[in-house]
Amino acid sequence: MTEENMTDVRLSDLASWTNELLDQLLDDKRGIVELEPVSGDASFRRYFRARVGGDTYIAVDAPPEHEDNKTFVHLSNLLLASGVSAPQVYSVDYDQGFMLLLDLGDDLYLPALLHYQRNDDIDSSEALYSQAIDALLLIQSGLDKDQLPVFTVEKLLSEMQLFTTWFCESFLSIEVDEAGTALCDSAFRWLAKQLSEQHQVAVHRDYHSRNLMMLDSSKFGADSGPGVIDFQDAVSGSYTYDLVSLLRDCYISWPRLQVEDWASLYLLKAQSAGLLAECSEAQLLRDMNIAGLQRNLKVIGIFARLSIRDNKSQYLADIPLVIRYFLDISAEFEEMAEFRAWLITEVLPSAKAKLQMEP
C-alpha cells in the first residue's frame, strides 16, 4: 500500500471514529458529518473540522508512531488549569492516534500582524503581543517545570547540529571540514552552556505567530487571551526562549527597538506578577539574544530538513530572515566571532545563491 493510500485509509477511519463519537456526545446529531481539511503544521499531524449544526469540532489525525499524543493531552490539561486558552481534548484514541478537540477557530496571529504591519497599526499589534505575553507568563508561572523534560545541554547541542547536518551539508552540499567542525562545536557549546545557566521555567518551545490564535470573544470571552496550540514539545528551559521565539519570529520581523520595547513590557509584567525580581532589562536582553541565536541555528536546520525529508519546500522562504537575525545578533558576542566569520565566508555565499537572498 502506498503512503497516499495509507493516508486515505486513515482519513476514512478518522471520519468513522469522529461520527461514532459525536453520536455518543450529542443528542441532536443528524446524518453523517463530513471532515473539512484545516491548515496543518510542520509535523505529521493533520487537522479537520467537523460541523454539527452551529457547532464545530476539530478532529486530529496524529499517527502514534510519529506523535506523542499522551503528552499532548497531559499538557493541554495543564495549560487549561493554568488559565491558558489551549484546545480542550474531548476524546482521544491513543491506539489509532485520533483526537477530538475544541475548535479555536482559524484566526492565527500571523495574518493579523502582517495586516497591522502593512497599515502601520502599531497599537493593534501591541495589543496582540501584550496578550501573548500575558499567556506566556501564565505558562511560566502556572506550569510546574519539574513535570516537564529538561532542555538539556545535549538536547540544545543536538538541535544546533541540525544546522550543519541538514542546512550546510544536505541542503547546500557544503563539506564542513575539521576546522569548521571545531568552530561549530565551540560556538554551539558556548550557546548551550549559556542557555542552561539562565533562569529555568516551563517552555512552550514554539511560541510564535503561527501557534497563537485570535479567539472569538463572543464564544470564549473578552479576557480569554490568545489560543495556544502546538505545545506538545514543552520542556523545562530558559525563561527567554519563548520570548525570543515570539518577538524575533521566523515569519514576521519588527524593528529592533520595537522588539526591545516588547521585551521590556514582558519584564514589567513579570515583575508586577512577582517574577524575575532580580532581573535587569540589560540582563533580559542579553539572555534573550543568546536564546535567539540557539533557536536561529535550530530553525534553519529544521526548515532545511522539512524541505529535503518531508517535501515541505515552503519553509525555505523563511530561512533568509532567520539568517539575518543570526548575523545581526551574533555580531554582539565576542564568543561567536570566529563562528560568525566562518559562516559569512564558507556558508553565506552558497546560501545566498540557493535561497536567492537579497544582498
Q: The domain spanning residue 16 has which CATH number?
A: 3.30.200.20
Question: Which residue blocks in 121-227 are alpha helix, DSSP H?
Answer: 122-142, 153-162, 178-196, 217-220
153: number of Cβ within 10 Å? 16
Positions of the chain with pLDDT lower than 50, given as ranges: 1-2, 5
pLDDT, tens digit, 9 for 90 and up, residues 46-91: 999 999 877 899 999 999 999 999 999 999 999 999 999 999 999 9
198 contacts 240 by C-beta, under 8 angstroms: yes
Domain that holds residue 21: 3-102
pLDDT at 1: 41
Partners of 52 in the β-ladder: 55
155 and 53 share one domain: no
208 and 116 share one domain: yes
Domain boundary among 73, 102, 131: 102
pLDDT at 57: 94
244: number of Cβ within 10 Å? 27
CA distances (Å), 194 to each of 199, 323, 334, in order? 10, 21, 14
Cα distance between residue 138 and residue 49, in whole Å: 28
217: number of Cβ within 10 Å? 10
Q: Is 233 exposed, middle or buried (0-12, 13-18, 19+ CB in 10 A)?
A: middle
pLDDT at 29: 60
Give the residue carrying C-alpha cell 487537522.
Answer: 47
pLDDT at 41: 60
CA 35 to chain centre: 26
Domain boundary among 79, 102, 125: 102
279 contacts 140 by C-beta, under 8 angstroms: no
239 and 330 share one domain: yes
70 and 87 share one domain: yes
198 and 321 share one domain: yes
237 contacts 203 by C-beta, under 8 angstroms: yes
